[in-house]
Amino acid sequence: MPTISVFYGLIIQMFYDDHNPPHIHINYQGEKSVVEIKNGNIIEGELSSRNKKLIDAWVEINKDELLANWELCKNRENPIKINPL
């Protein structure tokens, strides 16, 4: 699973050939969650309010790049690294 960004201890990853809807996997100190890219909903796991705010801001800033990376991963291609906050 490629890591596309790391900031404030948050590790953001995408799986190759993953299921829809487009989403990111977040690992923070062993706690895992999954967040939908288009609307920011947590679809699996939990995030603290602090980390949710950080992820929401980062996703909003990088939404186009994240969706492009989603397509790359769907095609089993390496995603592009995205700058941290």
Question: How confident is the model over 9-46, as pLDDT tens digits?
Answer: 999 999 998 899 999 999 999 899 999 999 999 999 99
Looking up tokens 């390496």 gives: 78
Per-residue confidence at 1, pLDDT binned at 50, 70, 90? Answer: confident
DSSP state of 81: P
| Rounded alpha-carbon distances, angstroms, from residue 48 to 22, 33, 69 | 22, 11, 25
- Residues with Cβ within 8 Å of 53's Cβ and at least 6 positions away in sequence, in order, are none
50 has pLDDT over 90: yes
> pTM of the full predicted structure?
0.94
Per the model's pLDDT, the better-predicted residue between 1 and 59 turns out to be: 59
- The answer to whether the peptide bond before residue 79 is cis (omega within 30 degrees of 0) is no
Instruction: Give me the mean pLDDT over the 54-79 stretch.
Output: 96
